[in-house]
Amino acid sequence: MAPRKIEIFDTTLRDGEQVPGCKLNTPEKIEIARQLEKLGVDIIEAGFPISSPGDFNSVVEIAKAVKDPVVCGLSRAVKRDIEVAADALKHAKRPRIHTGIGTSETHIRYKFRTTPEKIIEWAVDAVKYAKSFVEDVEFYAEDAGRTDNEYLARVCEALVKVGVTVLNIPDTTGYCLPEEYGAKIRYLKENVKGIDKVTLSTHCHNDLGLATANSIAGAANGAGQIECTLNGIGERAGNTSLEEVVMVIKQHPGLNLYTDIQTRLLYPSSRLVSDRMGMIVQPNKAIVGSNAFAHSSGIHQDGVIKFRETYEIIDPEEVGVDQSSIVLTARSGRAAIAYRSQKLGYHLTKDELDNVYQLFLDYADRKKEVMDEDLHEIMKISNITARV
Ligand code: KIV
Ligand code: ZN
């Protein structure tokens, strides 16, 4: 069977931007949207137009600025929200309204104080109303992760009947286990009449650190779209990280899935978002963290210098990182010193390396990391000159 495409729905500019203190202005959002277009995302969720005039304006400008991706605006299942979203998207070449409502018992009983049947009525009305403005309408069943599967299937079936194009199944609170979330998607695939006419989407939060695993489980069980953000930014513990799901899919051909993401743009895109949002990426973050391709222990350094794949499952260039780094610390061995020295033009004999290594250990005990300047100094003390 030919691999199945997974559409990448990027919500960095909507769910991602809900991070406290990370507000972007319109030019910054346009810059990021253009980068997302180059990166090859299929859908850009540009904002929540009713939430503020600034957000409305950003959605308008992003819709004008990009041409290939679908541009999506969020709305609640409320007429006025839908009208404003439709208005903000009027310049989009491929507009999508993303509307929805909570479907879990907690949401129905405590947030809406209503009945499950009434929720289905509101959902159907919202999708019908959104369809009167745009063809492409996505519905989110908020807190689907904690929604009873049988009821969720009834919600989905009612929406398929009125022409919804994408059904988003959010694990809003990041509660599900991967097997549970995958089984939920499979249940909907097998029990909702007409489900093959629509795309099922994952939207997983990372409260238990399971967002990537859950999204992959959803995709493996039939979802055709993954919602995610660069660097995994988002409320609380964040959203599914785009770079992680894309690289899991790429590194595991056995999943028989693919995306259209230009993976060499992952690192520069991550840097752009981190910089514009003023939000540092944790050093040990998978794929884009500063330590993701850095090796500091002697055993690993020796292995990776002899054969990169000993300790690296991804070629750093594939994600836009120039090269792996060999970090010199007190745990580094001779192989690492020789390697880094050679990069600086010092081709050491065995005796020279033995001498340099002793001096290096003095430096390494005094400093956390031995830098290129320190190596130059060590060579000077040892009377060793560089050769080009
Ligand atoms: O997490 C969530 O449920 C959401 C919806 C609004 C899609 O962000
Ligand atoms: Zn969310």
Kindly state if the Cβ of 140 falls inside 6 Å of ligand 1.
Answer: yes
Residues in the 5 Å CB sphere of ion ligand 2:
15
Which residue has a Cα nearest atom 2 of ligand 1? Answer: 172
Q: Give 289-335 pLDDT, tens digit per residue.
A: 999 999 989 999 999 999 999 999 999 999 999 989 999 999 999 99
CB-CB contact of 354 with 341 (8 Å)? no
DSSP structural state of residue 7: E
Query: How many Cα neighbours within 13 Å face the side chain of 347?
Result: 2
Residue 140 CA, ligand 2 centroid: distance in Å:
10
Q: Give 238-249 pLDDT, tens digit per residue.
A: 999 999 999 999
Counting residues of the chain whose pLDDT is more than 90, the rounded percentage is 96
Q: Please state the rounded mean pLDDT for residues 161-185.
A: 98
CB-CB contact of 298 with 46 (8 Å)? no
Both tokens of 216, joined, read: 């992959």
Look up tokens 């346009």; give the residue.
30
- Give the pLDDT confidence score for residue 387 in this predicted structure: 79
Kindly state if the Cβ of 238 falls inside 6 Å of ligand 1.
Answer: no
Q: Please state the rounded mean pLDDT for residues 5-28.
A: 95
Residue 80 CA, ligand 1 centroid: distance in Å:
19
Q: Where does the pLDDT of residue 375 fall: very low under 50, low under 70, confident under 90, or very high at 90 and above? A: very high
- Give the pLDDT confidence score for residue 23 in this predicted structure: 85
Q: Please state the rounded mean pLDDT for residues 156-184.
A: 98
Q: Give 99-150 pLDDT, tens digit per residue.
A: 999 999 999 999 999 999 999 999 999 999 999 999 999 999 999 999 999 9
Residue 194 has pLDDT above 80, yes or no: yes
- Give the pLDDT confidence score for residue 21 in this predicted structure: 82
Q: Please state the rounded mean pLDDT for residues 42-66.
A: 98
Pocket test for ligand 1, best of 142, 155, 168, 227 (most atoms within 8 A of CB): 142
- As a whole number of Å, the CA-based R_g of the chain is 25
Residue 138 CA, ligand 2 centroid: distance in Å:
14
Helices (H), the chain: 26-39, 53-65, 79-88, 105-106, 116-131, 149-161, 178-191, 211-220, 242-251, 266-277, 298-306, 334-343, 350-366, 372-381
Q: Where does the pLDDT of residue 250 fall: very low under 50, low under 70, confident under 90, or very high at 90 and above? A: very high
Domains and CATH numbers, the chain: 4-277 (3.20.20.70), 294-382 (no CATH)
Give the chain's end-to-end CA distance (angstroms, integer).
52
pTM of this structure = 0.94
CB-CB contact of 48 with 73 (8 Å)? yes
Residue 357 CA, ligand 2 centroid: distance in Å:
52
Q: Could you please report the per-residue DSSP string of 113-162?
A: -S-HHHHHHHHHHHHHHHHTT-SEEEEEEETGGGS-HHHHHHHHHHHHHT
User: How far is Cα 289 from Cα 108, in angstroms, rounded to an integer?
Assistant: 40
Residue 388 has pLDDT above 80, yes or no: no
Instruction: Give every CB contact of residue 121 below 8 A, 6+ residues apart in sequence.
Output: none
Tell me the average pLDDT of the chain: 97
Pocket test for ligand 1, best of 203, 204, 236, 239 (most atoms within 8 A of CB): 203
User: How far is Cα 328 from Cα 294, in angstroms, rounded to an integer?
Assistant: 10
